[in-house]
Amino acid sequence: MMKTVIHKLPKLLHGGDYNPDQWLDHPEVLAEDIELMKKAGVNTVSVGIFAWASLEPCEGVYDMDWLGEVIDRLYENGIYTVLATPTGAMPNWLTEKYEEVRQMGSSGVRNLSGKRHNFCYTSPVMREKTKKIDMELSRRFGKHPGVILWHISNEMGGNFTDGTCYCPLCQEKFRQWLKNKYKTLDALNTAWWTKFWSHTYTDWSQIHAPAPHGENLLHGLNLDWKRFSTEQLVDFYNEEVRAVRTNSDLPATTNMMGFFKDLDYCKFADSIDIAAWDAYPEWHSQKDEVDIAVWTAALHHQFRSLKKAPFLMMESTPSITNWKVNNIQKRPGMHELTSLQAIGLGSQSVQYFQWRKSRGSFEKFHGAVIGHTDHGNTRIFREVSRLGKRLHDISDEIYDTCNQPKTAFVFDWENWWALEDAAGPKKEMAYVGTFLSHYKPFWEMGIDVDVVPMEDDFKDYQLVIAPMNYMYKPEYAEKIRRFVREGGTYVATYFSGLVDDTDLCFIDRQPLDDVLGVSCEEIDSPNEFYKNHILYNGKKYDTGDLCEVLKVADAETLAVYEKDYYGGYPAVTVHTYGKGKAYYMACRTEEAFLKDFYGDIAAQCGLENGLTDRLPYGVTVSRRENDEKALYFVQNFNPAPVTVWLKGCFENIETGESVSGILQMSGYSCVILKKQIER
Please say whether the beta carbons of 207 and 175 come within 8 A: yes
Among 359, 389, 459, 539, binds its own copies (CB under 8 A): 359
Please say whether the beta carbons of 640 and 667 come within 8 A: yes
CB-based burial, 501-522: b 16+ in 10 Å, e otherwise: bbbbeeeeebbbbbbbbbbbee
> Could you say whether residue 108 binds its own copies (CB under 8 A)?
yes
Show the site string, 285-324: x = touches its own copies by CB under 8 A, - = not. Answer: xxx-------------------------------xx-xxx
3-class secondary structure, 308: coil
Minimum separation from the CB atom of position 388 to its own copies (A): 19
Piece of the chain touching its own copies by CB under 8 A; list 66-74, 485-493, 544-552, 580-588: 544-552
> Could you say whether residue 667 binds its own copies (CB under 8 A)?
no
Among 2, 9, 53, 309, binds its own copies (CB under 8 A): 53
Minimum separation from the CB atom of position 358 to its own copies (A): 5
Residues in 408-437 at the binding interface with its own copies, rule: CB under 8 A:
422-428
| 315 is annotated as an active-site residue | yes
> Could you say whether residue 404 binds its own copies (CB under 8 A)?
no
Residue 625, strand partner residues? 402, 630
Piece of the chain touching its own copies by CB under 8 A; list 127-135, 184-192, 410-418, 620-628: 184-192
Closer residue to its own copies (CB): 359 or 614: 359
Minimum separation from the CB atom of position 103 to its own copies (A): 9
Categorise residue 382: left if φ over 0, alpha if ψ from -120 to 50, beta otherwise: alpha
> Could you say whether residue 58 binds its own copies (CB under 8 A)?
yes
Residues in 117-156 at the binding interface with its own copies, rule: CB under 8 A:
none
3-class secondary structure, 316: coil
Residues in 246-265 at the binding interface with its own copies, rule: CB under 8 A:
none
Residues in 449-478 at the binding interface with its own copies, rule: CB under 8 A:
none
> Could you say whether residue 543 binds its own copies (CB under 8 A)?
no
Q: How far apart are the C-alpha atoms of 156 and 369, rounded to whole Å?
A: 25
> Could you say whether residue 240 binds its own copies (CB under 8 A)?
no
Piece of the chain touching its own copies by CB under 8 A; list 63-71, 123-131, 336-344, 361-369: 361-369
> Could you say whether residue 617 binds its own copies (CB under 8 A)?
no
Closer residue to its own copies (CB): 249 or 508: 508
Write the CA distances from 486 to 303, 322, 405, 537, 585, integer angstroms.
28, 51, 19, 28, 22
Q: How far apart are the C-alpha atoms of 650 and 372, rounded to whole Å?
A: 44
Minimum separation from the CB atom of position 20 to its own copies (A): 10
CA 448 to chain CA centroid, Å, is 15
Residues in 622-651 at the binding interface with its own copies, rule: CB under 8 A:
none
Residues in 188-227 at the binding interface with its own copies, rule: CB under 8 A:
190-203, 205-206, 208, 211, 213-220
| Helix 219-244 × helix 413-421 angle, to 10° | 150
Q: How far apart are the C-alpha atoms of 117 and 125, rounded to whole Å?
A: 16
Phi, psi of 555 (to 5 degrees): -155, 160
Minimum separation from the CB atom of position 608 to its own copies (A): 33
Closer residue to its own copies (CB): 194 or 248: 194
Among 3, 107, 393, 433, binds its own copies (CB under 8 A): 107
Q: How far apart are the C-alpha atoms of 518 and 237, rounded to whole Å?
A: 44
> Could you say whether residue 357 binds its own copies (CB under 8 A)?
yes
Q: What is the DSSP letter of 651?
A: E
Closer residue to its own copies (CB): 323 or 617: 323
Number of residues binding to its own copies, judged by CB under 8 A: 121
Closer residue to its own copies (CB): 183 or 324: 324
Q: How far apart are the C-alpha atoms of 95 and 250, rounded to whole Å?
A: 30
Among 260, 280, 506, 645, binds its own copies (CB under 8 A): 506
The residue type at 548: E
As to burial, measured by CB atoms within 10 angstroms (0-12 exposed, 13-18 middle, 19+ buried), residue 649 is exposed
> Could you say whether residue 579 binds its own copies (CB under 8 A)?
no
Residues written for the chain: 679
Q: How far apart are the C-alpha atoms of 22 and 360, rounded to whole Å?
A: 10
Minimum separation from the CB atom of position 25 to its own copies (A): 8
CA 136 to chain CA centroid, Å, is 31
CA 371 to chain CA centroid, Å, is 29
First to last CA, the chain: 15
Supply the DSSP string of 451-502, one letter for each residue.
EE-TTS--TT-SEEEETT--B--TTHHHHHHHHHHTT-EEEEESS-S-B-TT
Among 46, 54, 401, 403, binds its own copies (CB under 8 A): 54
Minimum separation from the CB atom of position 9 to its own copies (A): 27
Minimum separation from the CB atom of position 527 to its own copies (A): 6
Supply the DSSP string of 254-278, one letter for each residue.
-EE-SS-TTS-GGGGTTT-SS-EEE
Piece of the chain touching its own copies by CB under 8 A; list 291-299, 370-378, 451-459, 621-629: 370-378
CA 199 to chain CA centroid, Å, is 36
Q: What is the DSSP letter of 506?
A: P
Residues in 264-283 at the binding interface with its own copies, rule: CB under 8 A:
none
> Could you say whether residue 588 binds its own copies (CB under 8 A)?
no
Among 492, 549, 587, 659, binds its own copies (CB under 8 A): 549
Closer residue to its own copies (CB): 94 or 274: 94
Find the catalytic residue in 215, 240, 315, 548: 315
Residues in 74-103 at the binding interface with its own copies, rule: CB under 8 A:
86, 88-93, 96
Among 38, 308, 331, 675, binds its own copies (CB under 8 A): 331
Q: How many CA atoms lie within 13 A of 148 on its CB side?
A: 22
Q: What is the DSSP letter of 551?
A: E
Neighbour count for residue 439 (Cβ, 10 Å)? 24
> Could you say whether residue 327 binds its own copies (CB under 8 A)?
yes
Residues in 507-526 at the binding interface with its own copies, rule: CB under 8 A:
507-510, 519, 521-526
> Could you say whether residue 441 binds its own copies (CB under 8 A)?
no
Closer residue to its own copies (CB): 105 or 616: 105
Q: What is the DSSP letter of 298?
A: H
Residues involved in catalysis: 155, 315
